[in-house]
Amino acid sequence: MKHIFSSVAISALLCLALSPAIAHEAHVHGVGKLDVAIDGAQITLHLDTPLINLLGFEHAAKNTKDRAAAQKMALQLRNASKIFVTTPAAECRPISVKLASNAIDPILLGESPTPATKINATAKAAVHADLDADIVLQCENPHLLKTIDVNLFAKFKGFQKIDVQMVTQKNQLAATLRPSATLLSWE
Ligand SMILES: [Zn+2]
């Protein structure tokens, strides 16, 4: 009995090790990681990307120009239905957008500051920095939702590739998006 248990455990481990879907992506410039979960009327998106893909730099916003660029980027992401363009008939709208970065002050990202999250712009310059976006879209007609066009490439020139993991009520799939292939479809 004990022997059976350990072989099950070993094959599970092998699956984990061999599945590229589960492998954790490192910080690679040009590459983003997007998790999409569709559950009923809600689409939950998590984007994890090097900051450079969005801003062209990864340091803290030091001057007026940097701060303006960070604010513009945040506003574009907050206009989430223009970034993640869903089937029009499904009538999906963003109900929540949360942005976080280890280099950019939450205030510039449109988040309310807390002492714990306040970034000191004069603190050590990070070599690399990321941005995490958590977005929830709510759909009026979820049964009409067929596709999501990921507009990140058009809005932000730094993206070359986005690795997508997607979970729907029916299945689970992985996709690689590129500037020439931005459409997520399933079923
Ligand atoms: Zn970097």
CA–CA gap between residue 12 and residue 38 (Å, rounded): 26
24 CA → ligand 1 middle, Å: 16
In a domain, 12, yes or no: no
Q: Is 43 helix (H, G, I), strand (E, B) or coil?
A: strand
In a domain, 2, yes or no: no
* pLDDT value for 67: 97
74 CA → ligand 1 middle, Å: 18
In a domain, 174, yes or no: yes
110: left (phi over 0), alpha (psi -120 to 50) or beta: left
54 CA → ligand 1 middle, Å: 11
In a domain, 10, yes or no: no
92 CA → ligand 1 middle, Å: 32
In a domain, 6, yes or no: no
CA–CA gap between residue 57 and residue 163 (Å, rounded): 21
103 CA → ligand 1 middle, Å: 11
Range of the domain at 126: 25-185
Query: How many structural domains is the chain composed of?
Result: 1
**Sequential pLDDT tens for the chain (187 residues):** 444 444 444 333 333 333 333 334 479 999 999 999 999 999 999 999 999 999 999 999 999 999 999 999 999 999 999 999 999 999 999 999 999 999 999 999 999 876 655 555 444 455 799 999 999 999 999 999 999 999 999 999 999 999 999 999 888 999 999 999 999 998 7
* pLDDT value for 116: 57
Q: Give the sign of the dihedral formed by CA 123, CA 102, CA 130, CA 104.
A: negative
DSSP calls for 78-128: HSHHHHEEE-GGG-EEEEEEEEEESSS-TTTTTPPP-TTT---TTS---SS
* pLDDT value for 23: 39
